[in-house]
Chain A
Amino acid sequence: MTGILPSTGEPCRVLVLDDEPLILLDLEFAVEDAGCKPLTALDLVEALAIVQNNAISAAILDVSLGQGQTCEQVARTLAGMGIPYVLHTGDLDRMDEAVRSLGGTLVPKPTPAAVVVARALEPLAIRLD
């Protein structure tokens, strides 16, 4: 599978950001099932800390994080680092143009967690093959 980094032989680290803990839990399991190591964040601060302190291979980002916050800052940081991510959202229409223009893969909510994770890992498969 795509879950192991060829360089170190360790599982890929995948950032999962969602303000809904129950969705986060489901995605965490799905990332584990794909042979990767999930790093979960409930808000922007947690997500940015994870990005700074860990070598992330891919990310799953909930777009709207409540209280008018979006994942834009995290997406922008990841894009700057060349790390692939999917935007997981229940509202493709309302999604901020700024977030959309960053170029992440869009995955509409609800999509089965295993599928969300598979979409997130797709760019790695291409890169590692």
Chain B
Amino acid sequence: MNRNFPNSVPETGLNDQAHTAFDTTAARARAEHPEDTFAGASGVLFEQAMAQTRMAICLCDPHQSDVPIVFANKAFRQLTGYDDHEIVGRNCRFLQGPRSDRGTLDRIRKAIAEEDVLVVEVMNYRKDGTAFWNALHLGPIYDADGKLVYILGSQWDVSDVRAARADERHARDLARELSHRMKNMFAVIGGIVNFTGRVRGIETEAREINERIQALGRAYETTLDDSHRGTVEVGQAIRAVLAPYDPDGTRIRFEGNGLRSDFASVSVLGLSLHELAVNALKHGALSSNDGHISVAWRRNGAADGPAICIDWTEHGSLPGAPAMGSGSDGIVDRMLNMARGGIVREWDSDGLKAKLNIPLRDHAE
């Protein structure tokens, strides 16, 4: 854009490079409306800003019939692909096309007619026919006497933003649908186990199986929000697994940070904690009126063999027969051992204190 710039520009010591970037259309608009000429340095800066900003800007004359554009800056030409002579003198509607929303266009017309400020996103079209989402900001410009002189429109291409927003929404919808289906699937599995147990006369066994399956379901449920990460927040899974054993949220206390682990470790951890909670309900802290449990999780420091460590501490258990709480079939021990972890139990007058650990797999931070 090496156009000549009129000599009437006040001398402000600007270098030539800045001058060559000046927009002659701004000068022409000013020449046609000499009464609006900005005086001194601020006028030059204004023209430079208009020419150099990447924000597309146009001015329309509300006093001419059909409110034609009287000025468009370089960014406007770049955004729309039209040359200056194809822009000036025309109403802005040449940017509209088949997918421009009628309701939005009505709002634009109304705002112009009523001299309102309006910010909308509208589908517009370039000269080559390609569509783009235009974040259009328009509003009236008044002179010093309060007389309407221009309608200013600024345009910004927000197609990328819209696409990113749509992607995000799509991912969220997908995660929710997945969560819904998974809950339904676990409900169906639960139903099958239940009625099989009932018709076979093994309701107790069926219930035990079902409780384990549902605990697994709750542990996995928390993974859906993070499905793209491949890891699970351990604390969320622990809370979800134990939630049904503390409906009022007063009996189990959770202490831990945002430690993450892989799915496989979380399923073993979830099931182990479920078994401990069932035992606490039968024999431990949850069987007494004011007993409670604290569950603390942390990453073990060893750099060569990082592990998730969980302290399960029961308080206020009823006295007597504490060893009953170990779980008669040893399933917790077997699950944790199979995952190359383990459990150590101790009892004191307050109840069971168990320490669980399970290796933290690589890449899980």
| Interface band, chain A | 10 to 19
- CA of A90 to CA of B186, assembled, Å: 10
User: What residues of B have a CB within 8 angstroms of the CB of A103 in the complex?
Assistant: none
Check A112 against B210 for contact (C-beta < 8 Å).
yes
Of A20, A26, A110, the contact of B217 (CB 8 Å cutoff) = A110
B306 at the interface (CB under 8 A from A): no
Kindly supply a per-residue 1/0 record for chain A positions 75-116, scoring 1 wherever the CB is within 8 Å of any chain B CB and 0 otherwise. Answer: 000000000000000110110000000000000111011000
Kindly supply a per-residue 1/0 record for chain B positions 25-56, scoring 1 wherever the CB is within 8 Å of any chain A CB and 0 otherwise. Answer: 00000000000000000000000000000000
User: What residues of A have a CB within 8 angstroms of the CB of B198 in the complex?
Assistant: 29, 33
- CA of A110 to CA of B214, assembled, Å: 7
- CA of A94 to CA of B179, assembled, Å: 11
Check B187 against A90 for contact (C-beta < 8 Å).
yes
Check B187 against A25 for contact (C-beta < 8 Å).
no
Per DSSP, chain B at the interface is: helix
User: What residues of A have a CB within 8 angstroms of the CB of B194 in the complex?
Assistant: 26, 29-30, 112-113
Of B179, B191, B217, the contact of A113 (CB 8 Å cutoff) = B191
User: What residues of B have a CB within 8 angstroms of the CB of A45 in the complex?
Assistant: none
User: What residues of B have a CB within 8 angstroms of the CB of A30 in the complex?
Assistant: 194
For the complex, count residues of B whose C-beta is within 8 A of A. 19
Query: Given A94-B176, A113-B194: A22 and B183 within 8 A (CB)?
Result: no
Of B179, B180, B191, the contact of A22 (CB 8 Å cutoff) = B191
Residue of A nearest to B186 (CB): A110
A125 at the interface (CB under 8 A from B): no
A23 at the interface (CB under 8 A from B): yes
User: What residues of A have a CB within 8 angstroms of the CB of B187 in the complex?
Assistant: 20, 23, 90, 109-110
Check A26 against B195 for contact (C-beta < 8 Å).
yes
- CA of A64 to CA of B181, assembled, Å: 11
User: What residues of B have a CB within 8 angstroms of the CB of A64 in the complex?
Assistant: 180
Check A112 against B190 for contact (C-beta < 8 Å).
yes
B184 at the interface (CB under 8 A from A): yes
User: What residues of B have a CB within 8 angstroms of the CB of A23 in the complex?
Assistant: 187-188, 191
Name the distance in Å between B31's Cβ and chain A's nearest Cβ: 59
- CA of A28 to CA of B236, assembled, Å: 33
User: What residues of A have a CB within 8 angstroms of the CB of B190 in the complex?
Assistant: 26, 110, 112-113
Query: Hey, which bits of chain A sit against chain B, CB under 8 A?
Result: 20, 22-23, 25-27, 29-30, 33, 64, 90-91, 93-94, 108-110, 112-113
Q: 17 more A-B contacts (CB under 8 A) besides A110-B187, A110-B190?
A: A20-B184, A20-B191, A22-B188, A23-B187, A25-B195, A26-B192, A29-B194, A29-B198, A30-B194, A90-B180, A90-B181, A90-B187, A91-B180, A94-B180, A109-B183, A109-B187, A113-B190
